[in-house]
Structure 1
Amino acid sequence: MRVLYFALLRERVGVAEETVSPPSEIRTVGDLVDWLRRQSPQHDHALADPAMVRVAVNQDYARPDHAVAPNDEIAFFPPVTGG
């Protein structure tokens, strides 16, 4: 699974992207976020506030109950505003 981090989340995690292999019980975006938060203090800090994190699965916005699969690309980014 390819995981991408953008903007402030990239700064907090310390990498722009990583390849992860979560256990098979990780089936949703919410499961993945919980699992990633346990991987390091940096991940925990970056993903701690759900209001400040948006997620896309294979370039489509996704909610916490959206399914994830081993070959997916998951992107984490802060809320985007227009103007």
Structure 2
Amino acid sequence: MTILLFGITKDIVGSSTLSVPTSSATGRKIPKTVKELKEFLGETYPELNKLSSLAVAVNNSYANDSETINAYDEIALIPPVSGG
């Protein structure tokens, strides 16, 4: 599963994309929902947990935590945005 990263999320991870395993070969639970993906990423990159908010888009639409995800979805992490 490939995730597109923007803003501070890109800085935290150190890349504009991130691959998340879609098999249990790693011994970790495979994320099946947006909530599980956020938890997986928070364990892997604890700095993400410090963000005031973190939106997830699945296939170009904002997704709630209960939305199911799979390896073929286009997923993006959208950090809080400030502006003036």
TM-score category, normalised to shorter length: 0.7 to 0.9
* Structure 1 residue 45 corresponds to structure 2 residue 50: no
* Structure 1 residue 32 corresponds to structure 2 residue 37: yes
**Which amino acid is 2:75 matched to?**
I
Shift of 1:77: 1.2
The SS at the match of 1:38 is helix
Identity of aligned residues (%): 32
Shift of 1:49: 4.2
Shift of 1:80: 4.2
The SS at the match of 1:52 is coil
Task: With the length of structure 2 as denominator, give the TM-score of the two structures.
Answer: 0.76
**Which amino acid is 1:32 matched to?**
L
**Which amino acid is 2:33 matched to?**
T
What value does the CA root-mean-square deviation take over the aligned residues? 2.2
Deviations for 1:17-70, whole angstroms, at most 9, x for unmatched residues?
02221446521000011112222xxx2212x04642111011110011111011
* Structure 1 residue 15 corresponds to structure 2 residue 15: yes
Whichever of the two has the greater Rg, that structure is: 2
The SS at the match of 1:69 is coil
Unaligned runs of 5+ in 2: none
Q: How many pairs are equivalent?
A: 79
